[in-house]
Amino acid sequence: MVLAQANTVEIRQAEAADATAWPKAPHAVVALHAYGRATDDALDGAVATQARFVFLVPCCYGRSVPSLSATEAVAERLGIPPQSELRRRFLQVYVDSDRVLRLEAAGYEVTVVPLVPPTVTPHNLLLRARRVGEPQRMRQAEERLLGLRAQ
């Protein structure tokens, strides 16, 4: 976990889920190639501490990802074919959509861009977020998140 405060960069070795490891209001939170649940833990920590900027590069959508089992149930209900490549892509889009909407509902403006070419890694998305705190945008994101989860 890399945290930036003002003109300093502080690197802390800790589980991202450990609330005691987080400083108060970090300037930026960076989680590169955050394996499985680590992406969600970094997202939750950034939101809880109201980090100004968040840079997440999710990796490996395994069983530890909190929304994965619900996402698999949605794939079944929608009839997404079980072939691994199709199912994997659907699960990744759904899980990352949930993550983006969580950030937006917490007051962040989020863009999603490729960080590196897919030939380097298939886990190449960068979720780039800036805290703006716009109430209308937050309400809309919360409604979309609830709709996504209602599936």
Q: Residue 5 in 3-state DSSP?
A: strand
Flag whether pLDDT at 32 surpasses 80: yes
Q: Quick one: average pLDDT of 16-28?
A: 90
- Residue of higher predicted confidence among 76 and 3: 76
- What confidence category does residue 4 fall into, taking pLDDT thresholds of 50, 70 and 90? low
Query: Which residues fall within 8 angstroms of residue 33, CB to CB, at 6 or more apart?
Result: 57, 59, 121, 123
**Range of lowest pLDDT (22-36, 40-54, 100-114, 133-147):** 22-36
Is the pLDDT assigned to residue 143 strictly greater than 90? yes
